[in-house]
């Protein structure tokens, strides 16, 4: 589990760094690279658009020969600089007519860019280019009519941005967790689990990156067993001084423990986040950062047992003979004696974002939490059997608490949604 935690954590860090570099390389000084369909001040052509199209549009001879006519709906982006880019055919007539419509649009001079809040922005623009013959059956001498700009109003939907705003995201996670390792002999840690829930407040920037801070509760629970009981024959065959009278003795054969450890922390995660989706579609989600952990409660429950052997040394012999075994058990229900109150861990997660409504999305991810501070001194955990004491965690520390979990969270936008018109 430790190696898998490291792989997920470093993959999350690598992914965020690479995505951040990619976004930075694509952004410009204005900071707003969104493409709008409707803005308060729409782009305008520098002159008469109808005259420009009429002067530059050439009806393909091949289409005239075949008597083909119709309307080509072209879409393109008018950049903040006014340049025309990303020219594409929304609906066409034929390959030769479509190509001519694309050629003319690409030859346009720079437009007066659209503006939003007084700043130039990128705007998606749709333009119908009309091709009509005077007589559909005419031959090569047919001449097309002047260009006619028609108003077409295709159906449109509203798309909502999943960035550039304030969000709240309640989350729930469950998976494997517990100490990363033990430096003790005769120990076994099994069935480690991690459960957490909480909520974060995030602010996403236009670059798809954001920051987040939250409050959550995470509980580590794991089973711990320890045993160092010696076999009876380790004692009763030992040679001793020759005795003329019999002597009985009781020796401690060892201790064992079967316990459940539970540590509950209040946590403050400070994270960097990335969301690849900027509209209502499936996207990639990633986050990484540091988590401060404050111990709220620690509990040890289970039982510990002391095992003793009764040995008998017959008179005029020099060996012990095993007679019987006795055990003394005691239930354990106590806080751990010396846990660390404050620890830190590194967190990373990757997953997918699924849009549910205009202002709510579901995130499903796999996360890794790696402790970077020791969780406490387990050598203080002990049980008393009469005058003897048994340190059931031995002389080691708890080490770091690590976890790998599946997480589900809702990303709820709190600020006013940003939307644009979009053709179906």
Quote the domain boundaries for residue 256: 2-25+162-423
Instruction: From 25, 21, 8, select the one nearest 274 (Cα to Cα).
Output: 21
Same domain, 312 and 225: yes
Same domain, 203 and 317: yes
The tens digit of pLDDT for each residue in 320-356 reads 888 899 999 999 999 988 899 999 999 999 999 888 8
**Model confidence, pTM:** 0.60
Same domain, 252 and 387: yes
User: How far apart are the C-alpha atoms of 161 and 164, rounded to whole Å?
Assistant: 7
Domain boundary among 159, 179, 214: 159
pLDDT of residue 260: 92
Which residues are paired to 244 by β-bridges? none
User: How far apart are the C-alpha atoms of 165 and 75, rounded to whole Å?
Assistant: 29
Decide which of 304 and 2 is more confident. Answer: 304
30 in any annotated domain: no
What is the DSSP track for 227-247? E-PPPTHHHHT-EEEEESS-E
pLDDT of residue 290: 96
Same domain, 93 and 109: yes
For residue 230, give the CATH number of its domain.
2.40.160.20
Q: What would the two tokens of residue 327 be?
A: 């055990």
- The rounded Cα 51 to chain-centroid distance in angstroms is 54
Work out the burial of residue 296: count CB atoms within 10 Å of its CB; fewer than 13 is exposed, 13-18 middle, 19 or more buried: middle
Backbone angles phi, psi at 340, to 5 degrees: -80, 130
Same domain, 309 and 386: yes
Instruction: Give the lowest-confidence range in 129-143, 267-281, 288-302, 409-423.
Output: 129-143
Instruction: From 153, 152, 118, 146, select the one nearest 48 (Cα to Cα).
Output: 146
- The rounded Cα 395 to chain-centroid distance in angstroms is 37
Decide which of 416 and 107 is more confident. Answer: 107
Instruction: Give the lowest-confidence range in 95-99, 177-181, 300-304.
Output: 177-181
Q: How far is CA 295 from CA 41, 165, 200, 375, in A?
A: 56, 33, 20, 9
Same domain, 49 and 144: yes
The tens digit of pLDDT for each residue in 225-262 reads 888 888 887 777 666 667 777 778 888 889 999 999 99
For residue 76, give the CATH number of its domain.
3.30.1150
Same domain, 134 and 233: no
Q: How many domains does the chain have?
A: 2
User: How far apart are the C-alpha atoms of 74 and 88, rounded to whole Å?
Assistant: 6
pLDDT of residue 76: 94
* Pairing label, strands 35-36, 119-131: parallel
Work out the burial of residue 239: count CB atoms within 10 Å of its CB; fewer than 13 is exposed, 13-18 middle, 19 or more buried: exposed
Instruction: From 56, 340, 421, 34, select the one nearest 207 (Cα to Cα).
Output: 34
Which residues are paired to 388 by β-bridges? 385
DSSP code, position 110: P
Q: Where are the alpha helices (DSSP H) in 93-220?
A: 95-106
402 in any annotated domain: yes
Which residues are paired to 313 by β-bridges? 247
Q: How far is CA 313 from CA 185, 230, 234, 295, 309, in A?
A: 32, 19, 15, 53, 13
């Amino acid at each position: 589990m430790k190696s898998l935690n490291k792989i997920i954590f470093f993959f999350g860090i690598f992914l965020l760094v690479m995505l951040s570099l990619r976004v930075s390389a694509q952004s410009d000084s204005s900071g707003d690279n969104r493409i709008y369909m409707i803005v308060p001040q729409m782009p305008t052509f520098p002159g008469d658009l109808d005259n420009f199209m009429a002067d530059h549009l050439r009806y393909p001879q091949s289409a005239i020969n075949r008597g083909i006519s119709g309307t080509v709906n072209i879409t393109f982006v008018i950049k903040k600089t006014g340049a025309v880019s990303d020219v594409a055919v929304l609906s066409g007539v034929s390959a030769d007519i479509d190509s001519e419509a694309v050629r003319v649009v690409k030859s346009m001079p720079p437009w007066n860019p659209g503006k939003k809040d007084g700043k130039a922005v990128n705007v998606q623009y749709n333009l119908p280019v009309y091709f009509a013959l005077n007589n559909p059956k005419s031959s090569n001498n047919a001449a097309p009519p002047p260009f006619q700009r028609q108003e077409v109003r295709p159906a449109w939907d509203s798309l909502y941005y999943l960035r550039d705003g304030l969000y709240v995201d309640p989350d729930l996670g469950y998976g494997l967790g517990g100490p990363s390792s033990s430096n003790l002999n005769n120990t076994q840690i099994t069935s480690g689990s991690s459960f957490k829930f909480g909520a974060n407040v995030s602010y996403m920037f236009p670059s798809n990156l954001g920051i987040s801070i939250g409050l959550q509760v995470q509980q580590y629970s794991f089973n711990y067993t320890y045993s160092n009981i010696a076999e009876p024959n380790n004692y009763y065959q030992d040679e001793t001084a020759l005795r003329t009278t019999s002597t009985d003795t009781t020796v401690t054969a060892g201790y064992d423990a079967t316990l459940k450890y539970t540590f509950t922390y209040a946590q403050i995660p400070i994270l960097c986040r990335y969301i690849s989706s900027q509209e209502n579609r499936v996207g990639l989600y990633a986050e990484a950062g540091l988590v401060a952990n404050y111990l709220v409660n620690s509990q040890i429950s289970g039982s510990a047992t002391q095992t003793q052997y009764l040995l008998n040394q017959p008179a005029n012999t020099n060996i012990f003979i095993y007679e019987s075994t006795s055990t003394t058990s005691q239930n354990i229900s106590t806080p751990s004696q010396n846990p660390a109150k404050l620890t830190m861990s590194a967190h990373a997660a990757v997953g997918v974002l699924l849009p549910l409504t205009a202002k709510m999305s579901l995130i499903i991810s796999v996360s890794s939490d790696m402790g970077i501070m020791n969780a406490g001194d387990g050598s203080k955990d002990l049980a008393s059997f009469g005058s003897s004491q048994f340190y059931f965690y031995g002389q080691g520390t708890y080490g770091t608490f690590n976890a790998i979990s599946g997480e589900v969270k809702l990303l709820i936008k709190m600020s006013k949604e940003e939307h644009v018109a979009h053709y179906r």
